[in-house]
Homo-oligomer: A and B are copies of this chain.
Protein backbone atom coordinates (compact mmCIF):
# COMPACT_ATOMS: atom_id res chain seq x y z
CA UNK A 1 0.00 0.00 0.00
CA UNK A 2 1.29 3.45 -0.87
CA UNK A 3 2.06 5.88 1.95
CA UNK A 4 -1.07 7.33 3.59
CA UNK A 5 -3.20 5.72 0.87
CA UNK A 6 -6.94 6.26 1.20
CA UNK A 7 -9.01 3.29 0.11
CA UNK A 8 -12.30 4.00 -1.66
CA UNK A 9 -15.25 2.10 -0.22
CA UNK A 10 -17.99 3.88 -2.17
CA UNK A 11 -18.23 6.31 -5.10
CA UNK A 12 -21.26 8.56 -5.51
CA UNK A 13 -21.52 10.02 -9.01
CA UNK A 14 -22.95 13.53 -8.55
CA UNK A 15 -22.54 15.11 -11.98
CA UNK A 16 -21.28 14.34 -15.48
CA UNK A 17 -20.73 17.50 -17.52
CA UNK A 18 -19.25 18.72 -20.78
CA UNK A 19 -15.94 19.55 -19.13
CA UNK A 20 -15.92 18.21 -15.58
CA UNK A 21 -17.42 15.33 -13.62
CA UNK A 22 -17.94 15.37 -9.86
CA UNK A 23 -17.80 12.29 -7.63
CA UNK A 24 -17.92 12.04 -3.85
CA UNK A 25 -15.82 9.12 -2.66
CA UNK A 26 -16.12 7.58 0.79
CA UNK A 27 -12.62 6.56 1.87
CA UNK A 28 -10.95 4.64 4.65
CA UNK A 29 -8.10 6.72 6.08
CA UNK A 30 -4.72 5.36 7.20
CA UNK A 31 -5.95 5.35 10.85
CA UNK A 32 -9.03 3.28 9.93
CA UNK A 33 -11.49 6.18 10.14
CA UNK A 34 -13.82 7.15 7.33
CA UNK A 35 -13.97 10.42 5.40
CA UNK A 36 -15.48 11.85 2.20
CA UNK A 37 -13.52 13.29 -0.74
CA UNK A 38 -15.10 15.66 -3.27
CA UNK A 39 -13.35 14.92 -6.54
CA UNK A 40 -13.42 16.72 -9.88
CA UNK A 41 -12.48 14.76 -13.01
CA UNK A 42 -11.07 16.90 -15.81
CA UNK A 43 -9.61 15.79 -19.17
CA UNK A 44 -6.39 17.78 -18.68
CA UNK A 45 -5.12 20.78 -20.56
CA UNK A 46 -2.20 22.34 -22.41
CA UNK A 47 -0.69 25.81 -22.34
CA UNK A 48 1.92 27.41 -24.59
CA UNK A 49 4.60 29.95 -23.67
CA UNK A 50 5.06 31.55 -27.08
CA UNK A 51 7.75 34.18 -27.70
CA UNK A 52 7.99 36.03 -31.02
CA UNK A 53 11.23 36.90 -32.80
CA UNK A 54 10.95 40.48 -31.49
CA UNK A 55 10.81 39.15 -27.90
CA UNK A 56 7.09 39.82 -27.37
CA UNK A 57 5.18 37.15 -25.47
CA UNK A 58 1.77 36.08 -26.77
CA UNK A 59 -1.23 36.31 -24.43
CA UNK A 60 -4.94 35.92 -24.95
CA UNK A 61 -7.58 37.99 -23.23
CA UNK A 62 -10.83 36.21 -22.44
CA UNK A 63 -13.77 36.41 -20.08
CA UNK A 64 -13.64 33.79 -17.35
CA UNK A 65 -17.13 33.08 -16.04
CA UNK A 66 -15.73 31.27 -13.00
CA UNK A 67 -13.96 34.49 -11.96
CA UNK A 68 -16.54 37.00 -13.23
CA UNK A 69 -13.88 38.97 -15.10
CA UNK A 70 -11.58 38.85 -18.09
CA UNK A 71 -7.93 37.87 -17.72
CA UNK A 72 -4.77 37.79 -19.80
CA UNK A 73 -3.38 34.26 -19.97
CA UNK A 74 -0.93 32.33 -22.10
CA UNK A 75 -2.75 30.41 -24.86
CA UNK A 76 -4.32 27.25 -23.45
CA UNK A 77 -7.09 24.75 -23.88
CA UNK A 78 -8.38 21.44 -22.68
CA UNK A 79 -7.44 18.08 -24.15
CA UNK A 80 -9.93 16.40 -26.42
CA UNK A 81 -10.50 12.73 -25.62
CA UNK A 82 -7.59 10.62 -26.86
CA UNK A 83 -5.72 13.61 -28.29
CA UNK A 84 -1.94 13.86 -27.83
CA UNK A 85 -1.10 16.96 -25.72
CA UNK A 86 1.38 18.19 -28.36
CA UNK A 87 -1.37 18.15 -31.00
CA UNK A 88 -3.74 20.01 -28.68
CA UNK A 89 -1.04 22.57 -27.92
CA UNK A 90 -0.49 23.35 -31.60
CA UNK A 91 -4.23 23.47 -32.29
CA UNK A 92 -4.95 25.85 -29.41
CA UNK A 93 -2.01 28.06 -30.41
CA UNK A 94 -3.38 28.26 -33.96
CA UNK A 95 -7.02 28.82 -32.96
CA UNK A 96 -6.35 31.39 -30.27
CA UNK A 97 -3.44 33.34 -31.74
CA UNK A 98 -3.17 32.81 -35.51
CA UNK A 99 0.42 31.60 -35.06
CA UNK A 100 1.74 28.07 -35.36
CA UNK A 101 4.97 26.25 -34.54
CA UNK A 102 6.67 23.01 -35.55
CA UNK A 103 8.88 23.29 -32.52
CA UNK A 104 6.93 23.05 -29.26
CA UNK A 105 9.08 21.92 -26.33
CA UNK A 106 7.36 20.29 -23.33
CA UNK A 107 8.89 21.99 -20.30
CA UNK A 108 6.69 20.79 -17.42
CA UNK A 109 3.39 19.11 -16.51
CA UNK A 110 1.64 19.88 -13.24
CA UNK A 111 -1.67 19.38 -11.45
CA UNK A 112 -3.44 22.67 -10.89
CA UNK A 113 -5.53 21.81 -7.80
CA UNK A 114 -4.38 18.48 -6.35
CA UNK A 115 -6.65 18.87 -3.32
CA UNK A 116 -9.82 18.29 -5.30
CA UNK A 117 -9.16 17.94 -9.05
CA UNK A 118 -7.11 15.75 -11.38
CA UNK A 119 -6.59 18.49 -13.99
CA UNK A 120 -3.03 18.09 -15.35
CA UNK A 121 -1.64 20.95 -17.46
CA UNK A 122 1.19 20.35 -19.93
CA UNK A 123 3.27 23.48 -20.49
CA UNK A 124 5.06 23.98 -23.82
CA UNK A 125 7.61 26.60 -24.85
CA UNK A 126 8.36 27.92 -28.32
CA UNK A 127 10.27 30.85 -29.76
CA UNK A 128 9.89 29.43 -33.28
CA UNK A 129 6.57 30.85 -34.52
CA UNK A 130 5.12 31.62 -37.89
CA UNK A 131 1.95 33.55 -38.71
CA UNK A 132 -0.80 31.53 -40.36
CA UNK A 133 -2.16 32.92 -43.61
CA UNK A 134 -5.74 32.09 -42.71
CA UNK A 135 -7.49 32.16 -39.38
CA UNK A 136 -8.39 28.83 -37.81
CA UNK A 137 -11.86 28.62 -36.30
CA UNK A 138 -11.89 27.96 -32.56
CA UNK A 139 -14.65 26.81 -30.21
CA UNK A 140 -17.90 28.54 -31.04
CA UNK A 141 -18.48 29.63 -27.43
CA UNK A 142 -14.98 31.05 -26.95
CA UNK A 143 -14.19 34.74 -27.50
CA UNK A 144 -10.54 35.70 -27.22
CA UNK A 145 -8.39 38.65 -28.21
CA UNK A 146 -4.64 38.58 -28.81
CA UNK A 147 -2.15 40.64 -26.80
CA UNK A 148 1.60 40.77 -27.42
CA UNK A 149 3.60 42.06 -24.46
CA UNK A 150 7.20 42.23 -23.40
CA UNK A 151 8.16 40.73 -20.06
CA UNK A 152 8.16 44.04 -18.16
CA UNK A 153 4.65 44.88 -19.41
CA UNK A 154 3.46 41.40 -18.41
CA UNK A 155 4.99 41.63 -14.93
CA UNK A 156 3.30 45.01 -14.46
CA UNK A 157 -0.06 43.51 -15.50
CA UNK A 158 0.51 40.68 -13.02
CA UNK A 159 0.93 43.28 -10.25
CA UNK A 160 -2.38 44.82 -11.39
CA UNK A 161 -3.98 41.33 -11.27
CA UNK A 162 -4.92 41.40 -14.95
CA UNK A 163 -2.57 38.42 -15.23
CA UNK A 164 -3.82 36.28 -12.42
CA UNK A 165 -3.57 32.53 -12.98
CA UNK A 166 -1.08 29.83 -12.01
CA UNK A 167 0.13 28.73 -15.46
CA UNK A 168 0.71 32.32 -16.62
CA UNK A 169 2.50 33.35 -13.41
CA UNK A 170 4.62 30.19 -13.84
CA UNK A 171 5.32 31.23 -17.44
CA UNK A 172 6.55 34.67 -16.37
CA UNK A 173 9.02 33.18 -13.87
CA UNK A 174 10.14 30.65 -16.52
CA UNK A 175 10.81 33.44 -19.03
CA UNK A 176 12.67 35.56 -16.46
CA UNK A 177 14.89 32.58 -15.59
CA UNK A 178 15.48 31.88 -19.28
CA UNK A 179 16.64 35.48 -19.61
CA UNK A 180 13.94 36.70 -22.03
CA UNK A 181 14.26 40.49 -22.28
Interface of A toward B, CB cutoff 8 Å: 2-6, 8, 14-15, 17-20, 22, 24-25, 27, 29-31, 33, 35-40, 42, 45, 61-67, 69-71, 73, 76, 78, 108-119, 121, 140-141, 143-145, 158, 161, 164-170, 173-174, 176-177
Of B14, B31, B70, B112, the residue contacting A113 (CB under 8 A) is: B112
A122, chain B: closest CB distance, angstroms: 12
Contacts of A118 in B (CB 8 A): 66-67
Contacts of A42 in B (CB 8 A): 113, 116
B170 in contact with A45 (CB, 8 Å): no
B38 in contact with A18 (CB, 8 Å): yes
A118, chain B: closest CB distance, angstroms: 5
